[in-house]
A and B are shown apart, each in its own frame.
Chain A
């Protein structure tokens, strides 16, 4: 089994090389003529106003919280799905109940307005 991860390791290496090499070549061959105006932040030709790294709308973080909850629960579904055909009937019912609870959680988030982007 372990040797399969050798393959993964090696393609990871290749991925890194393929991503890094063009950047390195680029830094060698490309001209470098920076100046103050060129390095300004692009904002349609105007000087940017105010801070960019702001405290963004909290709604955004709520999405990630909801995501974490659901993602973890979906991971629980994977082993259940893999072994599904070997499971006794009771486990099937359990699985369905689990999904219904998930749906209930979704409904709750929905009703609370956590799923509305602003």
Chain B
């Protein structure tokens, strides 16, 4: 029992640390990639090639004064960023980063843990994430924030349905809700993206919408709502929202990798289990790059168009995908 707790502590600390570093360098990577795609130089002053930029940003933010609007609901205003941040970290707990390894005479899972209801856990945590945003929008007592919060909640619940339906395909193929199980099932067949191209696409689109990333970044649509639900936030509270959003990006990329792209699978993983982490990281980074690329390329949809797309295109397609999967499994086996 003690051993388990120690293992859990070490792994949690490691994962949280990795996530924070990933967040810091994801923001840096986004700015750098944006610069390269826009014929600019990007951050290049702090440290070699600007590599210390995230540290400088973090230090600046932590010394920033917090401004809380007089009309705000103080308690909720304080709680909202925390409520956004926690699910972002907790959601990665069930993602397997590699096969089991032997270490110090114990069998250790690469990844925090593996739940037999892993996917349900992910959906549940993802639903919790919306609270932080809605509360932020509402508690600020700011009209832009209110509109941003309302948009965010409506958008997230709308795309959650398509998201939920799109992962039914892998579940049917693997016959389990455990993510480790789904990865192993892909070892015996092949990456599920080949069986579930439509499902994978719906997952990615709905995932982008869940993340409020471009072209679905309506809740924080700068052009009309200045900064949406976090308009009134400054300093560390603001950066918690930012952190939450970017860590969720990592999480969605990781989940997409696990469900549709074979997770940690790759050549020689069965002999060298630690390689799994590398494969997993490469695939995840690929998705992160895709998200950044999309943001730099596309303009934004209008809000009613976004809702219409979610309900009238994505949801019927996802339902269709479930039916097709069911039929194909019955006839092909």
Indicate yes or no for A touching B, C-beta below 8 A: yes
In the complex where A71-B164, A102-B319 touch, is A8 in contact with B308 (Cβ < 8 A)?
A: no
Interface check B322, CB cutoff 8 A: yes
Interface check B75, CB cutoff 8 A: no
Q: Work out how many contacts link A and B, with CB atoms closer than 8 A.
A: 218
Interface check B269, CB cutoff 8 A: no
Distance in Å from the Cβ of B162 to the closest Cβ of chain A? 10
- Which stretch from B48-56, B85-93, B207-215, B270-278 is at the chain A interface? B85-93
Asked whether, in the complex, the Cβ of A18 is within 8 Å of the Cβ of B4, the reply is no
Contact of B176 among A16, A25, A82, A92 (CB under 8 A): A82
Count chain B residues whose beta carbon lies closer than 8 angstroms to a beta carbon of A. 85
- A83 and B175 CA atoms in complex are apart in Å by 6
How large, as a class, is the contact surface on chain A?
A: 35 or more
Asked whether, in the complex, the Cβ of B150 is within 8 Å of the Cβ of A40, the reply is no
Interface check A108, CB cutoff 8 A: no
Asked whether, in the complex, the Cβ of A42 is within 8 Å of the Cβ of B232, the reply is yes
- A86 and B226 CA atoms in complex are apart in Å by 53
- A14 and B87 CA atoms in complex are apart in Å by 11
Asked whether, in the complex, the Cβ of A78 is within 8 Å of the Cβ of B303, the reply is no
Asked whether, in the complex, the Cβ of B235 is within 8 Å of the Cβ of A30, the reply is yes
Distance in Å from the Cβ of B20 to the closest Cβ of chain A? 7
- A60 and B149 CA atoms in complex are apart in Å by 12
Residues from chain A with Cβ under 8 Å of B100 in the complex = none
Distance in Å from the Cβ of B6 to the closest Cβ of chain A? 10
Asked whether, in the complex, the Cβ of B168 is within 8 Å of the Cβ of A41, the reply is no
Residue of B nearest to A110 (CB): B312
Residue of B nearest to A77 (CB): B168
- A76 and B303 CA atoms in complex are apart in Å by 30
Asked whether, in the complex, the Cβ of A74 is within 8 Å of the Cβ of B112, the reply is no
Residues from chain B with Cβ under 8 Å of A58 in the complex = none
Distance in Å from the Cβ of A60 to the closest Cβ of chain B? 6
Asked whether, in the complex, the Cβ of A10 is within 8 Å of the Cβ of B8, the reply is yes
Contact of A67 among B112, B157, B231 (CB under 8 A): B157
Interface check B102, CB cutoff 8 A: no
Asked whether, in the complex, the Cβ of A89 is within 8 Å of the Cβ of B93, the reply is no
Residue of A nearest to B142 (CB): A41
Residues from chain A with Cβ under 8 Å of B15 in the complex = 11, 14
Most buried by B among A44, A92, A99, A109: A99
Asked whether, in the complex, the Cβ of A81 is within 8 Å of the Cβ of B70, the reply is no
Asked whether, in the complex, the Cβ of A115 is within 8 Å of the Cβ of B62, the reply is no
Asked whether, in the complex, the Cβ of A38 is within 8 Å of the Cβ of B4, the reply is no
Asked whether, in the complex, the Cβ of B66 is within 8 Å of the Cβ of A11, the reply is no
In the complex where A52-B142, A78-B120, A84-B329 touch, is A115 in contact with B307 (Cβ < 8 A)?
A: yes
Asked whether, in the complex, the Cβ of A11 is within 8 Å of the Cβ of B236, the reply is no
Interface check A112, CB cutoff 8 A: no
In the complex where A38-B67, A43-B143, A85-B329 touch, is A60 in contact with B175 (Cβ < 8 A)?
A: no
Residues from chain B with Cβ under 8 Å of A15 in the complex = 16, 85-90
Contact of A11 among B67, B93, B176, B312 (CB under 8 A): B93
Interface check B197, CB cutoff 8 A: no
Asked whether, in the complex, the Cβ of B67 is within 8 Å of the Cβ of A26, the reply is no
Asked whether, in the complex, the Cβ of A39 is within 8 Å of the Cβ of B236, the reply is no
Residues from chain A with Cβ under 8 Å of B281 in the complex = none
Residues from chain A with Cβ under 8 Å of B78 in the complex = 23
Asked whether, in the complex, the Cβ of B303 is within 8 Å of the Cβ of A42, the reply is no
Contact of A53 among B138, B165, B308 (CB under 8 A): B138
Additional 18 contacts, C-beta under 8 A, given A11-B89, A26-B62, A92-B330: A7-B12, A8-B112, A8-B113, A11-B93, A14-B13, A14-B16, A15-B87, A16-B86, A23-B82, A26-B61, A30-B64, A30-B66, A48-B142, A63-B154, A64-B154, A67-B157, A77-B322, A96-B323
